[in-house]
């Protein structure tokens, strides 16, 4: 990944390796904390690593769902009730 500049402050972003292996990917990070940039493949690697962590962390932690091209956004839902009584009159 080539050196990028932060779109907010113009500072050269710092490139860091993800994980320990050479093929784990890279992330470019603004040294002033304005954000990070990574490739789509590296994002996929992070999602896989997060899913693996959840799978092995605890029986009470659900893994992240796989993101596929045919997925659609869930329907908009109403705001959750602030109290049980609101559910009676909603």
Distance CA 90, CA 83 (A): 11
Core vs surface per residue 36-47: b (16+ CB within 10 A) or e:
ebbeeebeebbe
Domain membership of residue 30 as a residue range = 1-59
Does residue 67 form part of some domain?
no
What's the whole-model pTM score?
0.45
pLDDT, one tens digit per residue, over 29-54 is 899 988 888 888 888 877 887 787 77
In a domain, 12, yes or no: yes
Question: Which token pair is 69?
Answer: 């091209």
Count of structural domains within the chain: 1
In a domain, 13, yes or no: yes
Cβ(45)–Cβ(24) below 8 Å = yes
Instruction: Using pLDDT thresholds of 50, 70 and 90, give the confidence band for residue 7.
Output: confident
Assign 3-class secondary structure to 55-67.
HHHCCCCCCCCCC
């Amino acid at each position: 990944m080539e050196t990028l500049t932060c779109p907010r402050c113009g500072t050269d972003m710092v490139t860091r390796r993800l994980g320990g292996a050479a093929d784990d990917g890279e992330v470019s990070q603004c040294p002033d904390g304005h954000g990070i940039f990574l490739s789509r493949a590296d994002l996929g690697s992070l999602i896989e690593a997060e899913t693996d962590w959840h799978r092995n962390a605890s029986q009470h932690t659900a893994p992240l769902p796989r993101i596929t091209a045919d997925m659609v956004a869930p329907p908009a839902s109403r705001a959750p009730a602030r109290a049980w009584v609101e559910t009676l009159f909603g």
